[in-house]
Structure 1
């Protein structure tokens, strides 16, 4: 298997953490994509993912899987180890719900703020920007952080008692936030405690 990605970009980081949680980092080959020079927008890459995003997982039979949730689902079911996506119908539904909320309310909101209301990846790649929309997403992200602080006041992880892909998504959103100055407000103590605890997991600390 091959993972086409950019090391330390937020969405590729989600997949790398999932692989680490399943002790499967050595089972794949990582192929860097030169996003800063537009490689993701060239025909060779668009044949793998017509939406020009990383990461992309290439299976041994030539199948390409894009979108982090889909890649994580594949990783979780393909490799042995604790489940990241749930085992019962209820677990799967709750994890999927909370993962989606972490994605839309935090990670994607921060990403939109970054690409629209800051210099982002630079003028060569940021060909359209709407500053007002970016600032609105900054506000949305802060509301998302407050929401998850309330969730984590009642339970140890985003979707309940176990670490799942929902935690991975929220973690990567906060890492991205730190990069573009969207930090955890000081009064969100439950979210901060969760962040510090998750930072010590081997899959992340490494």
Structure 2
């Protein structure tokens, strides 16, 4: 299997964390995509993923799987180890819900802020920007920080007692927030403590 990505970017980090949690890093090869030179928008790459985004998983039979949640779903079922997406119907539903909230309320909101309200990746790559929309999404991210801090006052992890893909998504989102200078308020102590706990996991080492 191959994974087309950019090491250090937030969405590729999600997939790499999932692989590490499943002890499957050695089961794939990574193909670097030069986003800064627009390689992700080339005809060859768009043929793999019409959304022109990384990461993309290529299976041995030639199937291409894009979207982090779909890639991690595949990884979770293809390899032994802890369950990242849940086993029972209730677990799977709650994890899916919290993963989507982490994505929309923090990761995607921060990404929109970065690409619209800042210089982003530069004029050559940021071909359209709506600063007002970007600022609103920055505010949404701040609301997301509060929401998850409140959740973590009673939960060990986002979806309950067990680490899951929801935690991976939020962790990557907070890393992107650092890069975009969207700060977590100091009073959100539960969120800050949770982040430190996740950062200490072997998959991050």
For the residues of structure 2 that align with 1:102 and 1:41, how far apart are their CA atoms? Answer: 27
- Flag structure 2 segments of 5+ consecutive residues without an equivalent: none
Alignment of 1:35-46 (within 5 A): 35-46=35-46
- Flag structure 1 segments of 5+ consecutive residues without an equivalent: none
For the residues of structure 2 that align with 1:164 and 1:4, how far apart are their CA atoms? Answer: 23
What residue in structure 2 maps to residue 108 of structure 1?
108
Alignment of 1:19-168 (within 5 A): 19-168=19-168
Between the two proteins, the alignment pairs up a number of residues equal to: 205
- Alpha-carbon deviations, 1:34-72, whole Å to 9, x = none? 100000101000010011000000000000000000000
What residue in structure 1 maps to residue 200 of structure 2?
200
- Alpha-carbon deviations, 1:126-150, whole Å to 9, x = none? 0000000000000000000000000
- Secondary structure (helix, strand or coil) at the match of 1:3 reads strand
What residue in structure 2 maps to residue 2 of structure 1?
2
State the 1:101 CA deviation: 0.1
State the 1:23 CA deviation: 0.3
State the 1:184 CA deviation: 1.2
- Aligned CA-pair RMSD: 0.4
For the residues of structure 2 that align with 1:150 and 1:22, how far apart are their CA atoms? Answer: 29
Task: Tell me which moved more, 177-186 or 82-91.
Answer: 177-186
- Secondary structure (helix, strand or coil) at the match of 1:194 reads helix
